[in-house]
Amino acid sequence: MVRWAATAHNSTNDSSTGVAVVPLTGRTALGNASLAAGRSWTLRFEVSTRGGGRSLMATTVRT
């Protein structure tokens, strides 16, 4: 079993918002979030496996 989690963080005003994650396969997922315009956001996706493995991917986007 694979579990996905994600957050979006804006360091300018130290705010965060949840990200809806839809798993597609054991290795892929889609994320969706409403992000305020004119800011830089760091999106972090984390996947946890039944065997205790964890992987993290982060990217920064400007809206």
Cα 14 to its chain centre, rounded Å, is 16
Query: Once rounded to an integer, what is the mean pLDDT over residues 13-24?
Result: 91
| Mean pLDDT for all residues in the chain | 90
Structure tokens at 27: 């290795």
* Domain count across the chain: 1
Q: Tell the residue number behind the tokens 């996947």, with chain if given.
A: 47
pTM equals 0.76
User: What's the average model confidence in pLDDT over 31-46?
Assistant: 93
Task: Write the CB contacts of 35 (distance below 8 Å, at least 6 apart in sequence).
Answer: 8, 10, 17, 41, 61, 63
Task: Give residue 30's domain range.
Answer: 2-62
